[in-house]
A and B are shown apart, each in its own frame.
Chain A
Amino acid sequence: MKWATRAGIHIDRAACAWLIRRDLDPDAEFVFLTDPADLPADATPFDMRGADLGHHAGDCSFETILRRHELTDPSLWRIAEIIHEADLDDERYDAPEAPGLDVILRGLSMTGDDERTLAVTTPVFDGLYEYFRRQDLLGREPA
């Protein structure tokens, strides 16, 4: 399937793309739009104004996708807290990882294109997921 979002991706779009490939569509193909009007007819938009998979009721797009697709994995929701704070910074959650990740993503967008940001962040989100999964199993900070 084809998925589309705005070009110049930051943390919410990078995390959404990771989540889409991981849980919704392993063969997802991403299109990055400079002009939202160029949305291909066969693409599902995310993290774009007016899209269903966007910001709603104070949620960032990553949270919206989790809700719409009824993904309840606590490790994904822990990542959602980080994405929310890095993106919206409204202190809804306590996510000390957020400011660091926010800066890293901003730096990536300054040094490479969106494809590269996805390539770099995919293993980062995989690692975060594994960390929180183990933390959840152990009930303490994993080694």
Chain B
Amino acid sequence: MTDASEAAPAAGRPSGQWVLLSYRLPREPSTPRITIWRKLKRLGVAQISDGLIALPADARTREHLDWIADEIGEVGGTATVWHAQPASRHQERQLAQAMADARAAEYRAVLAEATTARGLAPGERSRTMRKLRAELRRIHRRDYFPPPEKHAATTAVNALHPDHEPSEKDTAS
């Protein structure tokens, strides 16, 4: 009855297929607005305009936006989910680039914190490493077009492990 080949390929490069969420939320109360916005932010959505966000389409992103659309309905708003293709490659590249830039900034923040932590006492360094690994996992989840900064940030965080002898090698980019 089901066909495993239906599973959408994972997004990596712009594939031309996007899922859009168009929504309106009541101004008040503000709590659901904030909850929804946090969820969208966590998913790393591209904001196209007020009340219109986009993600590269795959099984996971479609499902997340479907549930968020339902939730918007439950709190008195309206939402529709669309499958779309940008009319031009240029537009799509801009969208993907904006998303990659947002992730790059997050990776740079991790890299900066990891670099600072190299000078800390071992216990403090390990604590920072654990925290930054969790942060990297969160960023990976919403990183649809991995920027070059990903590698440097990951390397710098792993270098905080006690098995990595502190070296004067420069990991900053």
Contacts and interface: CB of A to CB of B under 8 A. Distances in A.
**A and B associate in one complex:** yes
Interface of A: 7-8, 10, 31-32, 34, 49-50, 54-58, 89-90, 99, 109-115
B45 to A, nearest CB: 15
A31 B1 contact: yes
A55 B67 contact: yes
B168 interface: no
Contacts of B70: 49-50, 54-55
B3 A113 contact: yes
A32 B74 contact: no
Given A49-B66, A90-B42, A114-B1, 19 more contacts: A7-B1, A8-B6, A8-B59, A10-B60, A10-B63, A32-B2, A34-B6, A49-B67, A49-B70, A54-B67, A55-B67, A58-B35, A109-B4, A109-B7, A109-B59, A111-B4, A113-B2, A113-B3, A114-B2
Contact of A110 (B7, B35, B67, B71): B7
A57 B60 CA distance: 20
A57 B36 CA distance: 11
B137 interface: yes
Interface residues of B, number: 20
B27 interface: no
A90 B1 contact: no
Nearest to B68: A55
A10 B4 CA distance: 12
A108 to B, nearest CB: 9
A7 B2 contact: yes
A50 B71 CA distance: 10
A92 B32 CA distance: 16
Contact of B74 (A10, A56, A89): A56
Contact of A10 (B3, B6, B59): B59
Nearest to B59: A8
B39 interface: yes
Contacts of A115: 1-2
Nearest to A50: B70
12 contacts: A8-B59, A32-B1, A32-B2, A54-B70, A55-B67, A55-B71, A89-B42, A90-B39, A90-B42, A113-B3, A113-B4, A115-B1
A113 B7 CA distance: 10
B141 interface: yes
| 6 tightest A-B CB contacts, nearest first | A7-B2, A114-B2, A32-B2, A55-B67, A113-B2, A113-B4
Nearest to B4: A113
Contacts of B66: 49
Nearest to A89: B141
Contacts of B60: 10
A38 to B, nearest CB: 10
B74 A7 contact: no
Nearest to B75: A57
B36 to A, nearest CB: 11
